[in-house]
Every structure is written in structure tokens, then in C-alpha cells.
Amino acid sequence: MPATPAWSELGPRGQAGAATFEIRIVPVNEVDGLLVAVAEVAAQVFTRPPWAEPRQSAYAVAERLAADTLRPGFALAVAFHDDQVHGFAYGVRCSRLALLASRLPRGDITLRELAVSPSMQGHGLGVRLHDALLSASPGTSWWLSTHPRAGAALGLYRRRGWRVAALLNAEDDVRLIMLKQPPSRLGESS
């Protein structure tokens, strides 16, 4: 899939910023070359509250991403500025979250990770990554799991049509399971 056009970053009040970003769907054969950059972005994001993961756990995101390239439905969207990675989102075909939410799986895709460098948050990169990734598999139900105190992420997901499907409470770790159905399946029940 070709790259999306570059766009200028907008500041908090809509002023044009100096940075220009490009969101690309990355082919599987180019993923290995981005793993270090993905790990750095993940460490910047997931070591902070509400996740507060140890740095090594955050780096494991890149290892999972590399392993997931072999799974059906794999798609990776990356935000670049001057060949530097500032954010990423990826998904794979997976029905685990549907099953945890007591739903029948239907070839669903799970949004495994979405992260934007803290210095670039609040400028629409997360929305652009989200939309680029989901457009790679139109007409499919998407699932994700997120922290209930991840305010910015929850706001993004709700604005993009996600809804809470279940609450997952395991070993002092609470997560929301969210679902986004394609428009043709919104009225369906499972």
C-alpha cells in the first residue's frame, strides 16, 4: 500500500508546526529494520503511567511485533519524520479478545499496539495511525485491550467508534476489552 501524503504537524491551537509526518503501511519485509525504533517508542510510552511497565517489558513489544509478522492479517502503520519513527500501530487476525468478551469470533483482527512518542502526542498522530491501520482491513471487526486509566487512548478510541465490550480483571491488572465493528455489522449481535 502506498504511503499516505505527508502532513504538517499542528500545534495545540492549530498553528502549523515545523515537523512533517508521513504515515506508511510497512511491508513485512521491511519490519526488521524498524524493530529498534519501535522498541524505543514503546519504551517511551509504556514505561509511563498508567502502564508503568519495566523498560524490558516495553521493549518486548518489538519482539511480539516481529513474531506477529508471521500471523495472518498482519498490518503495521508507522509515523515517520525524516526517517525517524515517532509512532506505530499494528494488528493481526486474532479472536482471543472476542472469546474473552464472550463473543463468537468472525475472522476478527486485534489492534495489538498503538503508541506515539510522548513529545508528539496531542497532534493527531494517534488518529492517523489508527485510521491507516484499520483501513488496511476494511469490513472487519477489530478488538483491542487497553488500560481503563489511559484517558487519551480511550478518548481516541471512543471518537473513532470503539465501544467497551468487556472488563478483564486478572491478577491485579484491569483492562478494558473494546470492539469496533464495521458499519454493516453494527446492528448484529453475537
Residue range 59-100, pLDDT digits in tens: 899 999 999 999 999 999 999 998 899 999 999 999 889 998
Contacts of 56 (CB under 8 A, 6+ apart): none
Q: What is the mean pLDDT of residues 178-183?
A: 91
Single-letter amino acid, residue 89: A
d(CA 39, CA 84): 13
Q: What is the mean pLDDT of residues 168-181?
A: 88
The pLDDT value recorded for residue 146 is 94
Domains in the chain: boundaries: 7-185
Match domain 7-185 to its CATH number in 3.40.630.30, 1.10.10.410, 3.40.50.1100, 3.90.550.10: 3.40.630.30
What pLDDT, in 10s, does the model give residues 24-47? 999 999 999 999 999 999 999 999
- Residue 4 predicted with pLDDT over 80: no
Q: Is the Cα dihedral 184, 109, 116, 156 positive or negative?
A: positive
Single-letter amino acid, residue 1: M
Exposed, middle or buried by CB within 10 Å (0-12, 13-18, 19+), for 25? Answer: middle
What pLDDT, in 10s, does the model give residues 120-136? 998 899 999 999 999 99
Residue 171 pLDDT grade (very low, low, confident, very high; cuts 50, 70, 90) = confident
